[in-house]
Amino acid sequence: MASIISIRNLEKRYDSGFRALKGIDLDIPDGDIFALLGPNGAGKTTLINVVCGIVNASAGTVEAAGHNIISDYRAARSLIGLVPQELTTDAFETVWATVSFSRGLFGKPKNPAHIEKVLKDLSLWDKRNNMLMTLSGGMKRRVMIAKALSHEPKILFLDEPTAGVDVELRRSMWEVVRSLREHGVTIILTTHYLEEAEQMADRIGVVNAGEIVLVEQKHELMAKLGEKRLTLQLEDAVEQIPDALAAHTLEIGDDGYALVYTYNANDKRTGINSLFRDLDSAGLRLRDVDTKQSSLEEIFVDLVKAPTSESTRNDA
């Protein structure tokens, strides 16, 4: 699939000297829902803000649908909608006025039919004449999405769209995002909720300390999650894998007191049955058995362990 966002060697050093982005290369396929994960301070918002033209990059290039975000700013920006992390709404405006105004900011001609559709899609139509101050937090968040969609962008950035919202609203936001994707909008969202990434994303990118440490299709990541480790605790230690078990890929652990077998729980044949049969012929006696599944959370935690000494030095 062609990429709609193309980021090359992107650097951001803030005036304080802090290097928030360190040579980011990233392609986001057209029509994907792309989830950007990473711990606090990893650089997710900085990355989004650079692409949206809110923060200037120190080096590197970004193209949105082939338009350079600096030399072809207007064309690039008109393709992009941004729902920022913080809710900033004008308390005394009505829903209708604020969303229509946002469209005008992009120099687009009035299109009441489009605004009506956006408000209906986001279940805000009944509230169109309400002042923003009278809305709940969840509704205000929807208004932010409506504003971002007012100029019919092809790419929508959502910076933590469901932070602090209740489970019901979160699910309904997911529905909204999915239906946008069905209408051809590419979605890039940041989230701290791994469940959100699991539920929504076609592709997952992990950012840590200003670097992209992983980009993978979700189903490939999920296949990895099917990976389990079976640990066989032995009564007596072994020095090497017995010949009777040569057909199985095993590792020795625990100073010879454990054999570890890695398999995919999603496979039709996991090999566990034949392993147990062969254990018997190898004459090994088991003290205990346990299985452990890796989770997206574990993969994530592994990837974002404390920054390396080199990156710490770079930040100084």
Ligand X SMILES: Nc1ncnc2c1ncn2[C@@H]1O[C@H](COP(=O)(O)OP(=O)(O)OP(=O)(O)O)[C@@H](O)[C@H]1O
Note the residues at the interface with ligand X (CB under 6 A).
Answer: 14, 16, 18, 20, 38, 40-46
Q: State the nearest-atom distance from the C-beta of 42 to ligand X, in Å.
A: 4
Q: Which of 287, 295, 289, 299 is CA-nearest to residue 265?
A: 295
How far apart are alpha carbons 241 and 230 in whole angstroms? 15
Cβ(264)–Cβ(223) below 8 Å:
yes
- Minimum CB distance to ligand X smaller for 69 or for 209: 209
Shortest distance in whole angstroms from residue 80 CB to ligand X: 17
- Shortest Cβ 165–ligand X spacing (Å): 16
CB of residue 12 to ligand X, shortest distance in Å: 8
The H-or-E segment that residue 68 falls in is strand 67-68
Q: Which is nearer to ligand X, 20 or 245 (CB)?
A: 20
Q: Least separation, in Å, of the C-beta of 305 and ligand X? A: 16
* Nearest to ligand X of 44, 218 (CB atom): 44
Output 37 or 200, the one with its CB closest to ligand X.
Answer: 37
Closest CB to ligand X among residues 14, 92: 14
**Minimum distance, C-beta of residue 129 to ligand X, in the bound complex (Å):** 34
In degrees, to the nearest 5, what angle opens at C-alpha 43 toward C-alphas 24 and 313?
80
* CA gap 250, 193 in Å, rounded: 35
Which residues make Cβ contacts (< 8 Å) with residue 106, sequence separation at least 6? 77, 78, 150, 151
Structure tokens at 175: 């529905």
Task: Using the minimum distance from each CB to ligand X, give the nearer residue, 20 or 173.
Answer: 20
Which residue is it, tokens 């120190």?
Answer: 58
Burial 99-122 (b: 16+ CB within 10 A, else e): bbebbeeeeeeeeeebbeebbebb
